[in-house]
Amino acid sequence: MSIKLLINFLIFFTIYSHEFTSLGNTTYRVNSIGKVVYSLVPMFTEGFIGPLRSLYLMAIHGQIFSFLKLVFEFATNFWSPYSVIIFVYLLNKNY
């Protein structure tokens, strides 16, 4: 693994995890036996799949204005992992 890739991942992870938790999401979850455990799984599963599912549901139900508004929000806010990926790519491209 190259050092540049590692630095890009650390920048992505820092920005995205901060925004993920600042929205009120948590990385502390209650497991099946009632114990609170630390897990990054929701951040990387629902954080990536949830926006795509929302866009898909809006598209198939004909909510075009809501769809376009959400696409704009995904592109401009760092709570979306996709906007952070684009930001890190553009940051890396300039250097």
Dump strand ranges (E) for 1-95: 28-30, 36-38
Instruction: Return the percentage of the chain with pLDDT > 90, whole number.
Output: 26
**pLDDT on residue 24:** 73
CA dihedral of residues 13, 88, 54, 45 (deg, nearest 10) = -30
The per-residue pLDDT for range 47-67, each reduced to its tens digit, is 889 889 999 999 999 999 999
pTM, to two decimals? 0.74
| pLDDT value at 1 more than 70 | no
Q: How does 14-53 read in b/e, with b if 16+ C-beta sit within 10 Å?
A: ebbbebbeeeeeeeeeeeeeeeeeeeeeebeeebeeebee
The per-residue pLDDT for range 18-38, each reduced to its tens digit, is 888 887 777 788 888 989 888
